[in-house]
């Protein structure tokens, strides 16, 4: 009896932190929306007021102050109804940001249609202030709360406590994937495998029992979540019965699909009687979505080149202090396996390539790349450029030329590609990027396997929303200089 009480308490705890976090998001969203709407009105009309021409209420034209209050209320409601605070999407991935953007864009889209249809003369300055500033601040608010949530989860708070259930090798793969992503908020208490074992599934993840005593082990562990990794020894009927038992104990059931490296937006549930099916969309490498990415690249690179041109000039002068050229050109492999000349600010001495053979046995890089934390060939200026990735700025020219993208896989050297297997060749389905998941998840500290895994995940799941998130995260990584050498 006491066990059941404990499990109800555990489920209640999960519900409490979910509700508390959603409430924090709701309060922050509301404050931002109200502040933005008030700022838009003040910026357009000052501290006075004006009437919305064409909008009559009880035979009287509506004041903008009342219109602003109504807009703030509807905007806040749209964010709630969009599911942007749903526990299943907050805290990780780009879907949360996508829903915030969808709710905001649709609201102002409907507002524009209503204004046109009913001939309302809305002040354009009011809308042009409220819409972009509101969207940016909503993103910033969600990002700040996400950082806070990640900090709490690294302390063991605001997290699910889970047991992995399934065949040992499948559970090992699923468990390792979960442990690599602390932001998921899933802490593994243990595993239940086909026969049980004294040997841990992973470091810190003991095997609790075999399938014969799966339910008892799960209940005894105090878990609030079970992650099912799959097993031929678990019949559909047995898994269904286990689900009923877990439901009674208020324990959530997550099923890890056999397909890995696929993000949620590509997965769609197809209801079928007694057999839930998952439809997997193929990644888009052409069409309007890819054209939108290229358009974004061109506009972004042109804007960046114009704004940063004074910095380019200063950096070029600094790099050339030792008498060498400002730009370093190197052959890389891009989309479709085609070679291109990648541009960077030179960060090493002029004869760096001649010195390389004597340093090969001192590499700190991964199995495929030579890297040294204290490479003697790097100049003082070059070290500062590398730390904050300023040496990568000339690649904006590569983006404009069409060789690269703002966001994408890391552009590999020819020597690397010679060792690629068929799986790694999928990197070449999209243009390489100035930044990418590898840039915001460790940079030079990544192992070869991790860098490939992140690049392939990007190739399979890229989206324009995801690119914006990566660019934002890149700014933070570049400012701190983490993982660069």
| pLDDT score of 158 more than 70 | yes
Per-residue confidence at 67, pLDDT binned at 50, 70, 90? Answer: confident
H or E element in which residue 55 lies? strand 51-57
Model pTM?
0.65
Burial tier of 39 (Cβ tally within 10 Å: 0-12, 13-18, 19+):
middle
Please choose, from the candidates 185, 160, 161, 188, the residue with its C-alpha nearest in 3D space to the C-alpha of residue 174. 188
Average pLDDT over residues 278-307: 86
Least reliable range by pLDDT among 16-25, 70-79, 213-222, 265-274: 265-274
pLDDT digits (tens, 9 = 90+) for 305-328: 999 999 999 999 999 988 788 999
User: CA 401 to CA 404: how far, in whole Å?
Assistant: 8
| pLDDT score of 139 more than 50 | yes
Q: What one-character DSSP code corresponds to residue 372?
A: -
- Token readout for 387 is 């730390």
List b or e across 333-342, with b for residues whose CB sees 16 or more CB atoms inside 10 angstroms.
bbbeeeebeb
Per-residue confidence at 259, pLDDT binned at 50, 70, 90? Answer: low
| pLDDT score of 59 more than 70 | no
User: CA 128 to CA 101: how far, in whole Å?
Assistant: 16
432 against 444, higher pLDDT: 432
User: CA 276 to CA 272: how far, in whole Å?
Assistant: 5
pLDDT digits (tens, 9 = 90+) for 446-464: 777 788 888 888 988 888 8
Q: In Å, how far from its chain's centre is CA 480?
A: 19
Least reliable range by pLDDT among 238-252, 333-347, 372-386: 372-386
- For residue 366, the model assigns a pLDDT of 52
Q: What one-character DSSP code corresponds to residue 199?
A: S
- For residue 303, the model assigns a pLDDT of 95
Average pLDDT over residues 429-435: 93
Query: What does the radius of gyration of the chain's CA atoms come to, in whole angstroms?
Result: 27
| pLDDT score of 434 more than 90 | yes
In this structure, are strands 51-57 and 60-63 parallel, antiparallel, or unpaired?
antiparallel
pLDDT digits (tens, 9 = 90+) for 369-422: 656 666 778 888 888 888 888 899 999 999 999 999 999 999 998 888 888 888
Beta strands in 119-166 (DSSP E): 160-166
Q: Does domain 160-256 have CATH number 1.10.10.10?
A: no
Q: Which residue has the tokens 């608010």?
A: 141
Burial tier of 301 (Cβ tally within 10 Å: 0-12, 13-18, 19+):
buried
Q: Write down the mean pLDDT value for the chain.
A: 83
Average pLDDT over residues 152-158: 80
Per-residue confidence at 2, pLDDT binned at 50, 70, 90? Answer: very low
Per-residue confidence at 231, pLDDT binned at 50, 70, 90? Answer: confident
Average pLDDT over residues 343-364: 73
Q: In Å, how far from its chain's centre is CA 312?
A: 30
| pLDDT score of 364 more than 60 | no
- For residue 284, the model assigns a pLDDT of 72
- For residue 5, the model assigns a pLDDT of 39
Average pLDDT over residues 83-106: 86
Query: Is residue 39 within 8 Å of 68, Cβ to Cβ?
Result: no
If you average pLDDT over each of 212-216, 283-287, 359-363, which comes out highest? 212-216
Average pLDDT over residues 160-178: 89
Please choose, from the candidates 220, 57, 212, 80, the residue with its C-alpha nearest in 3D space to the C-alpha of residue 138. 80
277 against 465, higher pLDDT: 465
User: CA 335 to CA 333: how far, in whole Å?
Assistant: 7
pLDDT digits (tens, 9 = 90+) for 175-213: 988 888 777 788 899 999 988 877 889 999 999 999 888
- For residue 58, the model assigns a pLDDT of 41
Q: What is the SS3 assignment for 86?
A: coil
- Domain positions in the chain: 2-154, 160-256, 288-480
User: CA 293 to CA 407: how far, in whole Å?
Assistant: 9
- For residue 379, the model assigns a pLDDT of 87
User: CA 141 to CA 129: how far, in whole Å?
Assistant: 18
- For residue 50, the model assigns a pLDDT of 67
């Amino acid at each position: 009896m006491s066990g059941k009480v404990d499990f109800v308490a555990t489920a209640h705890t999960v519900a409490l932190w979910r509700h508390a976090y959603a409430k924090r998001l709701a309060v922050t969203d509301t404050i931002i929306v109200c502040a933005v709407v008030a700022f838009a009105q003040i910026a357009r009309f000052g501290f006075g007021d004006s009437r919305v021409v064409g909008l009559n209420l009880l035979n009287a034209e509506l004041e903008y102050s009342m219109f602003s209050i109504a807009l703030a209320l509807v905007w806040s409601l749209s964010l709630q109804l969009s599911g942007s605070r749903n526990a299943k999407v907050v805290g990780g991935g780009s879907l949360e940001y996508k829903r915030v953007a969808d709710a905001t864009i649709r609201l102002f889209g409907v507002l524009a249609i209503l204004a046109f249809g009913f001939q309302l003369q809305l002040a354009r300055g009011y809308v042009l202030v409220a819409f972009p500033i509101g969207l940016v601040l909503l993103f910033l608010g969600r990002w700040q709360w996400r950082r806070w949530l990640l900090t709490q989860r690294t302390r063991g708070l605001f997290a699910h406590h889970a047991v992995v259930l399934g065949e040992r090798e499948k559970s090992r793969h699923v468990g390792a994937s979960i442990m690599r992503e602390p932001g998921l908020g899933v802490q593994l208490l243990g595993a239940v495998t086909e026969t049980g074992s004294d040997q841990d599934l992973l470091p810190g993840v003991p095997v609790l029992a075999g399938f014969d005593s799966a339910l008892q082990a799960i209940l005894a562990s105090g878990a609030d979540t079970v992650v099912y990794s799959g097993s031929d020894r678990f019949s559909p009927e047995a898994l269904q019965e286990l689900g009923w038992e877990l439901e009674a104990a208020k324990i959530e059931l997550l099923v890890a699909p056999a397909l890995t490296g696929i993000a949620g937006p590509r997965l769609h549930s197809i209801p079928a009687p007694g057999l839930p099916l998952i439809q997997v969309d193929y990644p888009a490498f052409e069409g309007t979505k890819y054209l939108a990415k290229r358009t974004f690249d061109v506009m972004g690179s042109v804007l960046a080149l114009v704004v940063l041109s004074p910095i380019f000039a200063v950096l070029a002068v600094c790099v050339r202090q030792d008498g060498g050229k400002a730009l370093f050109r190197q052959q890389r492999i891009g989309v479709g396996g085609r070679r291109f000349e990648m541009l960077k600010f030179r960060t090493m001495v002029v004869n760096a390539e001649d010195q390389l053979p004597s340093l090969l046995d001192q590499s700190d890089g991964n199995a495929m790349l030579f890297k040294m934390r204290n490479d003697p060939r790097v100049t003082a200026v070059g070290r500062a450029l590398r730390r904050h990735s300023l040496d990568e700025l000339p690649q904006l020219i590569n983006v404009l030329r069409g060789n690269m993208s703002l966001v994408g896989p890391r552009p590999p050297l020819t020597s690397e590609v010679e060792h690629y297997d068929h799986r790694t060749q999928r990197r070449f389905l999209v243009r390489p990027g100035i930044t990418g998941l590898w840039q915001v998840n460790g940079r030079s500290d990544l192992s070869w396997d991790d860098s490939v895994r992140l690049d392939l995940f990007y190739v399979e799941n890229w989206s324009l929303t995801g690119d914006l998130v990566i660019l934002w995260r890149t700014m933070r990584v570049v400012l701190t200089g983490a993982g660069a050498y």
